[in-house]
Chains A and B, each alone.
Chain A
Amino acid sequence: MEVVLAIIIGVLYAAGIYMILRRSLVKLILGIIILGNGANLLIFLLGRITKGSPPIIPEDSNVFLSAYADPVPQALILTAIVISFGLQSFAIILIKRAYKVVKTDDLDEMNEIDQDS
């Protein structure tokens, strides 16, 4: 399981970076989304994967009896997902506006700000 997840995370990071390096604005956003998902999975993996033992102490005991799944990474991922959701929806609106105003989705042609003024 860990190996599969590690490979998936690697592929997501590579694909995300590749898409960010493309010139098209839409691919840029896709790249950011994919990269964010890779980061979330990475937190999940590095929080150690434990199958089928929720962090609940049994009634007749005061301590955990076996290894339990760490709840913190899941809380972190949840926070990160919410944040990236907000940012991505902002980004999509931004590129839509930028496309309407600049009339291109090619990043190389967005060079008005480099003009000497």
Chain B
Amino acid sequence: MTQQLVIYPLLLQLFLSILLMFSWKKISWQRVISIVGGFINIGVSLWLFSYIWENGTQTVQSGNWPAPFGITFVADTFSATLVLLTAISGLAVSSFSSASIVVARLKFGYFPIFHFLLLGLNGAFLTGDIFNLYVWFEIILISSFVLITLGGEKAQLEGAVKYFTLNILGSTIFLTAIAVLYGLTGSLNMADLSLKVALIENRGLVDITAVLFLIGFGIKAAVFPLYFWLPDSYHTPPSAVSAIFGGLLTKVGVYAMLRVFTLIFVPDEFLINTILIIAFLTLISGGLGALVQNNLRKVFSYLIICHIGYMIAGLGLYTEVAIAGAIFYLIHDIVIKTNLFMISGLIYRIKGTNSIRSLGGLYADSPKISFLIAIALFSLVGIPPLSGFWPKLSLLSASFSAENWWIVSAILFASFITLIIIAKIWANVFWKDKVELPKRLNFRYFHKLTTVKRSQMIGPIVFLTLVSLYIGFGAEQIQQVSSRVADELMNNQQYIDAVLNNNQNLN
């Protein structure tokens, strides 16, 4: 029963998508299946996580081909944590989208595609084979193309063209990198690659391959010179779609970077410097970009870029404390970014616009919702003891002990910029006097929705805010998880042993 536990999250999502496709025309069924499936998914992911936590890294060799010949699925603490977070965000977004997305869009297969996206995310987190990772990336990509274009508005199509072009370019570069790596080593299994890459004498060639991977994943993760597709596309689809994109899609790139650069390419000085420079510029440029935007969702899009910088900085510093900080930030960021985009969707439903200049008086209108949003915003800034504070502390102390003052200043700068932006949003959207907005005909304002729909929109925001609060107040447990992940990443022998020594158990 527990032998194949690693692939249960995959099978569940696949099963859900197929089930949803069979009820193509029955939207109310789809809503129920998606939400119930989300709960089951959380259960399965929790089971996987607790099993991994107690028993260590688990592997499944597909088709019983011993590693490194077949495709291996590996769940270490890192993968299990991310699968759990995917389940949490996935449930929140399925509930939110069933209330906030109009039926016309749901009719064109929104829910099946959404669950295919979750399938791709889980697959990318759980696979132990570099080419299989590419395939999961493509599954994520094709589902996200459909989600971003569903509805076919003018802005959506324009955003989709940019999103499409740069992401497919990133995939091609990733594929090129796999080709070169296969030419160098003749293997695709990540654990096996880790051993073989270490033996290659031509380090220049290894560095070039590593840089190709860095560019490929960098486009997905939206780091400094490669992020321009993100703010042009993330605000165009409905907010439920942006929520899952903002919460998880860029984080897959970060996951792949953390995995590849700790397991396969252990960074030398050249790579470390490159990664640190990228992190520095990402923190600065993302923050400055967010400062000048007026559309609420564009501000959040730039904040995604800015905060990716923290995780890249953690990778670049390359100590156990720094990696633990990056992992903690990743955990915090997935929850909070999903929440932020859902909040922007809620504000859009209440007021009918997302322009910061036209918004106002939200606090006077709905103080309870405003209080809820305030907790999420303060968690983002990282006011102690809320969740954004702890990982920054680890990252700062790691960069202090590395005496890297550039990164210290960039981290502090990005935190201050985030604070200024949140203060600006709070002052303009919540405290400013109400601006009279033109009433939009046929627009489903929040107060016109039924109570069920309203609770389906507020519920996920409350849920994710509670998770954020837990991350903040239960920081000790999250820190334990991140330290263990960092330990497993830095001492990659455990991972290699778990994958390659599994052969003996089979015989």
- A residues with CB within 8 A of B: 20, 25, 28, 32, 35-36, 39, 42-43, 45-48, 70, 72-73, 76, 79-80, 83, 86-87, 90-91, 94-95, 97-98, 101-102, 107, 110-114, 116-117
Q: Is B168 an interface residue (CB 8 A)?
A: yes
Contact B142 A46 (CB under 8 A): no
Contact A110 B161 (CB under 8 A): yes
Which of B145, B176, B233 gathers the greatest number of chain A CB atoms within 10 Å?
B176
With contact pairs A76-B131, A83-B135 given, residues A32 and B165 touching in the complex (Cβ less than 8 Å): yes
Since A94-B160, A114-B232 are in contact, a sample of 7 more A-B pairs with Cβ atoms closer than 8 Å, ordered by chain A residue number, is A94-B161, A97-B152, A98-B157, A98-B158, A113-B155, A113-B235, A113-B236
Interface-located stretch among B180-188, B405-413, B425-433: B180-188
Contact B154 A101 (CB under 8 A): yes
CA distance in complex: A97, B233 (Å): 17
With contact pairs A83-B135, A102-B157 given, residues A117 and B180 touching in the complex (Cβ less than 8 Å): no
- B residues with CB within 8 A of A: 131, 134-135, 138, 141-142, 145-146, 149, 152-155, 157-161, 164-165, 168-169, 172, 175-176, 178-180, 182-183, 186, 188, 232-233, 235-236, 294-295, 354-355
* Contact sample, A vs B, 14 pairs, CB 8 Å cutoff: A28-B161, A42-B176, A42-B179, A87-B141, A87-B142, A87-B145, A94-B149, A98-B157, A98-B160, A101-B154, A102-B157, A112-B155, A113-B232, A113-B235
- Contact pick for B138, options A70, A72, A87, CB 8 Å: A87
Contact A95 B295 (CB under 8 A): no
CA distance in complex: A43, B145 (Å): 26
> How far does the Cβ of A9 sit from chain B's closest Cβ, in whole Å?
10
With contact pairs A83-B138, A94-B145 given, residues A73 and B182 touching in the complex (Cβ less than 8 Å): yes
> How far does the Cβ of B290 sit from chain A's closest Cβ, in whole Å?
14
CA distance in complex: A46, B154 (Å): 43
What are the 6 closest A-B residue pairs judged by CB atoms, nearest first? A46-B183, A43-B179, A98-B157, A110-B158, A42-B179, A39-B175
CA distance in complex: A97, B153 (Å): 10
With contact pairs A79-B135, A101-B154 given, residues A32 and B142 touching in the complex (Cβ less than 8 Å): no
> How far does the Cβ of B228 sit from chain A's closest Cβ, in whole Å?
11
Contact B160 A80 (CB under 8 A): no
CA distance in complex: A87, B138 (Å): 9
CA distance in complex: A1, B250 (Å): 41
CA distance in complex: A113, B165 (Å): 16
Residues of A within 8 A of B294 (CB): 116-117
> How far does the Cβ of A55 sit from chain B's closest Cβ, in whole Å?
13
- Contact pick for B169, options A32, A83, A94, A111, CB 8 Å: A32
> How far does the Cβ of A40 sit from chain B's closest Cβ, in whole Å?
8
Residues of B within 8 A of A32 (CB): 165, 168-169, 172
> How far does the Cβ of B224 sit from chain A's closest Cβ, in whole Å?
20
With contact pairs A20-B165, A42-B176 given, residues A47 and B183 touching in the complex (Cβ less than 8 Å): yes
> How far does the Cβ of A36 sit from chain B's closest Cβ, in whole Å?
6
Residues of B within 8 A of A47 (CB): 182-183
Contact B172 A35 (CB under 8 A): yes
CA distance in complex: A111, B232 (Å): 9
Contact B232 A76 (CB under 8 A): no
Contact A46 B180 (CB under 8 A): yes
> How far does the Cβ of B70 sit from chain A's closest Cβ, in whole Å?
12
Residues of B within 8 A of A46 (CB): 179-180, 182-183
Q: Which residue of A lies closest to B69 (CB)?
A: A72
Q: Which residue of A lies closest to B155 (CB)?
A: A113
Contact A86 B161 (CB under 8 A): no
With contact pairs A32-B169, A36-B172, A39-B175 given, residues A102 and B182 touching in the complex (Cβ less than 8 Å): no
Contact B164 A94 (CB under 8 A): yes
- Contact pick for B158, options A72, A83, A87, A113, CB 8 Å: A113
Residues of A within 8 A of B158 (CB): 98, 102, 110-113
Residues of A within 8 A of B141 (CB): 87
Residues of A within 8 A of B159 (CB): 113
Which of B141, B149, B158 gathers the greatest number of chain A CB atoms within 10 Å?
B158
Residues of A within 8 A of B169 (CB): 20, 32, 35
Which of B146, B159, B175 gathers the greatest number of chain A CB atoms within 10 Å?
B175
Contact B164 A116 (CB under 8 A): no
> How far does the Cβ of A81 sit from chain B's closest Cβ, in whole Å?
11
Residues of A within 8 A of B138 (CB): 83, 87
CA distance in complex: A73, B376 (Å): 48
Contact B295 A116 (CB under 8 A): yes
CA distance in complex: A87, B172 (Å): 12
Contact B161 A39 (CB under 8 A): no
With contact pairs A47-B182, A95-B161 given, residues A102 and B154 touching in the complex (Cβ less than 8 Å): yes
With contact pairs A36-B172, A98-B157, A116-B295 given, residues A91 and B179 touching in the complex (Cβ less than 8 Å): no
Contact B157 A87 (CB under 8 A): no
With contact pairs A87-B141, A102-B158 given, residues A76 and B165 touching in the complex (Cβ less than 8 Å): no
- Contact pick for B161, options A36, A43, A79, A107, CB 8 Å: A107
- Contact pick for A28, options B153, B165, B178, CB 8 Å: B165
